[in-house]
Amino acid sequence: MSQLNSILNTLKPSVPKRYLLLVAAVVWTFAGGMLLFRGFSALKYNSTGILIEEAVSIVFGIVFYIFMFSRISLKHIVRMQNNPIERPCVFSFFNWRSYILMSTMISLGVTLRLTGLVPIQYLSLFYICMGTPLILSSLRFYTHGIKGLKTV
């Protein structure tokens, strides 16, 4: 059994713990950037009140970050920093619950976009509203990740 564990550990994609925050930052940047790109791209086809709608979506995104995502990102940062494993799995920047939540949200977003149940001008506002806290959270991950690299 220990030989099997040894083989599995050599196959596990791992990174030094100090880089895990930067991996999380890149993933959150990609997700937030993709949502913001989709949101702003879809809004350019709607000619009325774009600036106001974008501003309102960004403000709601900032509020969403302050009241929800700041706590979530801090919880992930503390969990990663307190991880006793020196070379954790590269995918351990999320816990299982977060992976399930992320999968559900992605599936719902894709389903709404492909089925057309929600008009794209409204869905694009939601994309901007969700992309904003993801980008802000990624900045927090970058900050903590860079601080961690400087202390090594």
The reply to whether 58 falls in a domain is: yes
**Burial grade of 86 (CB within 10 A; 0-12, 13-18, 19 or more):** exposed
User: Residue 50: inside a domain, yes or no?
Assistant: yes
How far is Cα 152 from Cα 126, in angstroms, rounded to an integer?
Answer: 40
How far apart are alpha carbons 140 and 143 in whole angstroms?
A: 5
Given this model, what pLDDT does residue 76 score?
92
| Count of domains for the chain | 1
- How far apart, in whole angstroms, are the C-alpha atoms of residue 76 and residue 98? 10
Burial 52-68 (b: 16+ CB within 10 A, else e): ebbeebbebbeebbeee
Which tokens in the block code for residue 3? 């030989």
Residue 11 falls within a domain, yes or no? no
The boundaries of the domain holding residue 129 are: 16-150
Report if residue 1 sits inside a domain.
no
Q: Which of 31-40, 48-57, 59-68, 115-124 has the lowest mean pLDDT?
A: 48-57
What pLDDT, on the 0 to 100 scale, is given for residue 8? 65
In a domain, 8, yes or no: no
Give 44: exposed, middle or buried? Use CB within 10 Å, 0-12, 13-18, 19+: exposed
Asked whether residue 4 is domain-assigned, the answer is no
Is the pLDDT at 151 greater than 80? The verdict is no
Band of the pLDDT at 51, cuts 50, 70, 90? confident
Q: Is residue 2 part of a domain?
A: no
